[in-house]
Amino acid sequence: MAEDTTLSSTLPLALYGLDPAGQGALLPVLAGHLGGVCRTLCDGAIVQLKGAQPHLLGQVRVVGLVVAIDTTARCTKYTIDDSTGSLVCILWAELGQFPSEPVFGLASQVAVHGRVSMYRNTLELYVKHITLVTDPHEELFHWLRAIHTHQTYLTHPVDSYTSSAARNFLDANQVRSH
Tens of pLDDT, residue by residue, the chain (178 residues): 444 333 334 445 554 544 433 455 578 888 888 766 665 544 556 665 665 666 667 788 999 999 999 998 888 999 999 999 999 999 988 766 666 677 889 999 999 999 888 787 788 899 999 999 999 899 999 999 988 887 877 665 544 433 455 456 556 655 444 4
Domain ranges of the chain: 28-158
Given CATH 2.40.50.140, say whether it is the number of domain 28-158. yes
CA atoms within 13 A on the CB side of 51: 6
Going by their DSSP bridges, the two strands 86-92 and 122-132 should be labelled as parallel
Q: What angle do CA 95, 176, 171 make, to 5 degrees?
A: 130
**Chain centre distance of CA 150:** 12
pLDDT for 77: 93
Angle, CA of 61, 30 and 145, to the nearest 5°: 70
The whole model's pTM is what? 0.71
